[in-house]
Amino acid sequence: MLLLLPPSEGKTPAPDGAAPVDLTTLAHPELTAHRELLLDRLAEVSAREDATSVLGVSAGLADEVARNTTLREAPAGPAAEVYTGVLYAAAGLADLPDDAARRARESTLVFSGLWGVVGPDDRVPAYRLGMGVSLPDVGRLATAWKPVLSPVLDERAAGDVVVDCRSATYVAAWRPRTTGEGAAEWVEVRVLREAGGKRTVVSHNAKHTRGVLAGHLLRRDAEARTSEDVLKAAQELVGSVVLTEVGSGKDQTLIEATLRDGTARGPRTLELVLA
């Protein structure tokens, strides 16, 4: 299994005094040269007066953007602790038991506009950069990363099942190969809500639900090796309360998990239905 996660928008800085990032120790060191380039370009942009505008964030995040200018010296911590937010809280990547933590190290990659991909244990500093940003002399990051990531991740995914919890912005940086030699099974995760006999795509609670699935895939005894295994794992969660809505206090229960076929070159879709 290869489990793909998006980064969180907000990040939790590592404690003061922690060692800085060592690019040679990150997952897939073949990406080091591109990471070096992006660190330099991001630092240059983040020092500009229009930095928040270029990076597509609000003026209230100016302090986080300014932090981008010193990322090589900033304290770094495990990605599973630096990336925070709904999906990561639900998955519990930072608190996995030993066997699940080993599986996460072997099978989980977090996509990043700055690093390309990192593993849960890779030590990185908190930064602010989305995959949809366009940097001077680099261009749109998803486009810039695609030819760099493809040979590395195509090889890693060959013959495996790819469980994709990313948003479209990050999918644009790498799409698993599903046909020909070295093809992978590609399963995207979609979350729906059923109310009044109608089903609609969920956006607000989708990250949490994907996080619950990711945590379950890592913690269960049997590793998923095919798309049917992923479906079976999801069906094990049917009937359980996935989340409780803030404000209303209403429980959202997983009532159905279905695997739907896609196009020849596209993913199959694992639909998780909440009610």
218-to-3, 16, 73, 104, 224 alpha-carbon distances in Å: 9, 30, 33, 6, 9
Neighbours of 134 (CB within 10 A): 14
Q: What's 140-209 look like in SS3?
A: EHHHHHHHHHHHHHHHHHCCCEEEECCCHHHHCCCCCCCCCCCCCEEEEEEEEEEECCEEEECCCCHHHH
| Residue 89 tokens, joined | 């809280």
- What's the number of CA atoms in the CB half-sphere (13 Å) around residue 186? 22
- The pLDDT value recorded for residue 272 is 98
Task: Indicate if the alpha-carbon torsion angle 252, 257, 259, 260 is positive or negative.
Answer: negative
17, two tokens: 């005094």
Q: What pLDDT is stored for residue 64 in this prediction?
A: 94
Is residue 264 packed enough to be buried (19+ CB in 10 Å), middle (13-18) or exposed (0-12)? exposed
What is the pLDDT at residue 268? 97
pLDDT digits (tens, 9 = 90+) for 53-99: 999 999 999 999 999 999 999 999 999 999 998 999 999 999 999 99
Whole-number pLDDT of residue 135: 96
- Residue 69 near residue 46 (C-beta atoms within 8 A): yes
74 to 18, 63, 94, 105: CA distances (angstroms): 8, 14, 21, 24
Query: What global pTM score does this model have?
Result: 0.96
Q: Are 197 and 212 within 8 A, CB to CB?
A: no
Weakly modelled stretches of the chain, pLDDT under 70 = none
Q: Where are the domains of the chain?
A: 2-274
